[in-house]
């Protein structure tokens, strides 16, 4: 029997095939590693998107103002505050038109539907609208509201975002202030007539009257400015009381740049250690981050960067991480300084009576 000889060509051919297989395996391994890296990145993006969605969903559901989303002039979504403000169920509002929750006419005599369409068209043209409006609850009760109307796009579909704030109390305070002003005018004139006996007393009374009128005029201008620029303060703080997020209005309101406040504690930035009455606000903040549910609705004194003290009504909502542990507190505030100062003026005038 003769030995079987191996053809050298076959040997080289086999080695070449093995080399190609190894190269293909290496190429597939590299492709696998790239896919794993891309998968990790996609998971991180998904996690960030879920976190962002949770944040804005929490803001939407806990806002102290009514928030509407409308498409083609019809309400398609609203937040829970809507049902409270209008005294109705969600299904009573969705697919309805804005003017269906308004009286037939506005205070200027214009038809509500006609005027609403004018505001909607202006907003759709890219001109944000801010105006006062008479709204009507489901039971027919009419109330004063301030509306911010803006054009938005959701998944490429154009629509409108309407933020509605009930300003009935603010209107009532303004009316009371005006009545107090009118009463003061009457008293001043009566006093002037009584003091006509002498020119000296008459001149003194005129000076006093002008001073009072100027003080009230300046106060009204200041209050009007606050009312016209009112909006919501939105911020988040961690369980140490450090600011992790604050919206643009909050930055402008408190007078900070982002770099000056993000990562800094609320104590010493927007909250004084003690308020004007001596209350320990530092202890209050510690208690809030320990158990925010005790302070779901809270009113306290705050301060701006320049040291100015302001009063804010806060809604505090706990935020939990994936393990179910408290990680942050969402704080939504409305500036109540104007109403506080109005109450002080009325109280002072009551004392003077």
- Give residue 53's pLDDT band: very low, low, confident or very high (50, 70, 90): low
pLDDT reported for residue 226? 36
Written as six digits, the tokens of 270 are 């927007």
Fold category of 62-166 in CATH:
Beta-Lactamase (3.30.450)
**Sign, CA torsion 110/149/270/317:** positive
Which one, of 304, 307, 298, 302, lies nearest residue 331 by Cα?
298
pTM of the model: 0.58
Fold category of 232-339 in CATH:
Beta-Lactamase (3.30.450)
Tell me the Cα Rg of the chain. Answer: 32
Q: For residue 71, is pLDDT > 90?
A: no
Neighbouring C-beta atoms of residue 324, cutoff 10 Å? 7
Enumerate the domain spans of the chain: 62-166, 169-228, 232-339
Q: 4-43: per-residue pLDDT in tens? A: 554 555 555 666 677 777 777 777 777 777 766 666 665 6
Same fold across 62-166 and 232-339: yes
Neighbouring C-beta atoms of residue 31, cutoff 10 Å? 10
* In the chain, % of residues over pLDDT 70: 78
Share the mean pLDDT of the chain: 83
- What is the separation, in whole angstroms, between the first and last Cα of the chain? 136
Alpha-carbon gap, residue 233 to 192, rounded angstroms: 47
User: Could you tell me which residue, 171 or 57, shows the higher pLDDT?
Assistant: 171
- Tell me the mean pLDDT in the region 240-260: 95
Pairing relationship of beta strands 157-166 and 232-238 according to DSSP bridges? unpaired
What per-residue string of b and e applies to 301-322 under the rule 16 or more CB within 10 Å gives b?
A: bbbeeeeeebbbbbbbbbbeee
């Amino acid at each position: 029997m003769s030995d079987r000889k191996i053809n050298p060509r076959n040997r080289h051919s086999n080695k070449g095939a093995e080399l190609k297989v190894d190269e293909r395996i290496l190429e597939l391994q590299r492709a696998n590693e790239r896919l794993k890296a891309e998968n990790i990145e996609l998971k991180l993006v998904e996690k960030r998107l879920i976190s962002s969605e949770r944040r804005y969903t929490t803001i939407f559901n806990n806002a102290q103002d009514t928030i509407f989303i409308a498409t083609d002039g019809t309400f398609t979504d609203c937040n829970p505050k809507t049902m409270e403000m209008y005294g109705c169920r969600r299904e009573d509002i969705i697919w309805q038109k804005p003017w269906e929750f308004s009286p037939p006419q506005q205070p200027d005599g214009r038809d509500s539907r006609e005027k609403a369409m004018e505001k909607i068209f202006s907003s759709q043209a890219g001109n944000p609208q801010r105006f006062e409006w008479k709204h009507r609850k489901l039971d027919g009760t009419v109330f004063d509201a301030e509306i911010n109307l803006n054009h938005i796009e959701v998944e490429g579909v154009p629509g409108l975002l309407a933020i509605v704030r009930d300003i009935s109390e603010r209107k009532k305070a303004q009316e009371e202030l005006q009545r107090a002003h009118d009463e003061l005018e009457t008293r001043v004139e009566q006093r002037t007539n009584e003091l006509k006996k002498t020119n000296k007393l008459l001149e003194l009374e005129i000076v006093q009257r002008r001073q009072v009128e100027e003080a009230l005029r300046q106060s009204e201008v200041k209050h009007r400015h606050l009312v016209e620029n009112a909006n919501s303060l939105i911020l988040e703080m961690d369980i140490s009381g450090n600011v992790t997020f604050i919206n643009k209005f909050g930055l402008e309101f408190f007078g900070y740049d982002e770099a000056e406040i993000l990562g800094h504690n609320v104590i010493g930035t927007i909250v004084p250690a003690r308020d004007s009455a001596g209350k320990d606000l530092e202890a209050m903040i510690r208690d809030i981050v320990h158990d925010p549910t005790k302070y779901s609705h809270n009113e306290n004194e705050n301060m701006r960067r320049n040291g100015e003290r302001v009063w804010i009504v806060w809604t505090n909502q706990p935020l939990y991480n994936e393990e179910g542990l408290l990680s942050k507190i969402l704080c939504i505030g409305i500036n109540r300084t104007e109403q506080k100062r109005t109450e002080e003026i009325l109280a002072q005038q009551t004392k003077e009576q």
